[in-house]
Amino acid sequence: MTRTFALVVAHPDDDALTWAGTVAKHADEADFRFVLVQATDGEAGDIREGFPATRETLGAIRRDECAAAWRAVGRPPDRLEWLGLPDGRVAEVPLTGAVERIGAVLETEAPDVVATFGPDGITGHPDHIAVGLATDIAFAQLAAAEGPGFRRLLHHVLPQSVFERWQRKRQASNLPVFDPTRVYHWRGVPDCEVGLVVNCRGVRDRVLAGILEHRSQLHVIADQPIDVLHMQRTVGREWAVVAWPPTEPPCRLLTDVFDGL
C-alpha cells in the first residue's frame, strides 16, 4: 500500500528549505510516493552580479537546480508539476484558477498528506501565502468528497521559541536580525500551535547538499559567506502546524508526516 506525500510550494528552493528532511528519511521506502507541485519557475528571483543568468534564462536555470537538489537529497519526486504561474505575482492570479490547477494534481494523486505554507507564508512572501491558501481550499474540497487520501494537511512553520533563539544568535554574531513585520523576513508561530516536529539530524547532510544546489539563490537563502556548520544545525528539524484534521488540545506531538495514519 503506497503512502503519498504531496508538497505544494511557490518557488524552486522553497521545497529544499522546508520538507527535504522528511523526504530523505522516507527515501528508501518502497511504499513511499513523493509528489511535488511548483507554482512558479522562480523566474523573477534575484540575479546576483556575475552569475551567468538573464531574466529570460533564470526560470530554466532554477528548474535545473530543483532537479539537481533532489538528486543530491537522494530522492527525486515521483511526480513534479510546474504550474507556470507568474513569479512574484501569484496573488494576482484568480484564486479559483489557482485552486483548480493545484486541485487537479492532488485529485489524481489522492495523497495521504499534503504540505504547504500557512497564512504567514513563513516569510510573509505574497506568493507563499497565495499558494498556501489555494492549496488549503483545494484540500478542503477534495477531503470533503470522502474519497481516498487527504488524511492530513500540514503548514510548515517556525516555532516562536526557535525563531527567538535564531534572533539571539544572529545578534551575537553581528548579523541583521529578522523583522517579522516585513516581507521576506522569517517569523515564528506560537509553540503551542506546532503539532509536528520531525528530527532530521540523521539526514541533514543530504538536506544541506540539496540546498547548496540552488546556486542562483544562495546569496538570498543564506548569509554570506556560507557557514556550513550553522546551516547543518538549522536543517536538523522540521516543524508544522496540523491544519487538518482539527484537533483539541492537549494533543500528542507528531514526529513524522505519516504518524498515526
| Distances from the Cα of 219 to the Cα of 46, 147, 154, 206, 212, angstroms | 9, 44, 28, 20, 11
Parent domain of 51: 3-159+188-241
Has residue 192 been placed in a domain? yes
The count of domains in the chain is 1
Give buried/exposed letters for 1-20 (b at 16+ CB in 10 A, else e).
Answer: eebbbbbbbbbbbbbbbbbb
pTM assigned to the model: 0.96
CA angle 22, 68, 53 (to 5 degrees): 130
| Residue 54: closest CA among 63, 64, 44 | 44
pLDDT computed for residue 227 by the predictor: 84
Q: Is residue 253 part of a domain?
A: no
- The reply to whether 73 falls in a domain is yes
pLDDT digits (tens, 9 = 90+) for 200-234: 999 999 999 999 999 999 999 999 888 888 888 89
What's the pLDDT score for residue 1?
84
Domain of residue 24, CATH code: 3.40.50.10320
Residue 255 is assigned to a structural domain of this protein: no
Cell reading at 155: 503548514
- The answer to the question of residue 125 being in a domain is yes
Give domain status of residue 251, yes or no. no
Three-state SS across the chain? CCEEEEEEECCCCCCCCCCHHHHHHHCCCCCEEEEEEECCCCCCCCCCCCCCCCCCCHHHHHHHHHHHHHHHHCCCCCEEEECCCCCCCHHHCCHHHHHHHHHHHHHHHCCCEEEEECCCCCCCCHHHHHHHHHHHHHHHHHHHCCCCCCCEEEEECCEHHHHHHHHHHHHHCCCCCCCCCCCCCCCCECHHHCCEEEECHHHHHHHHHHHHCCHHHHHHHCCCCCCHHHHHHHCCEEEEEEEECCCCCCCCCECCCCCCC
Residue 103 within any structural domain of the chain? yes
Stretches where the chain sits below pLDDT 70 are: 249-250
167 located within any domain: no
130 burial class (0-12, 13-18, 19+ CB within 10 angstroms)? buried
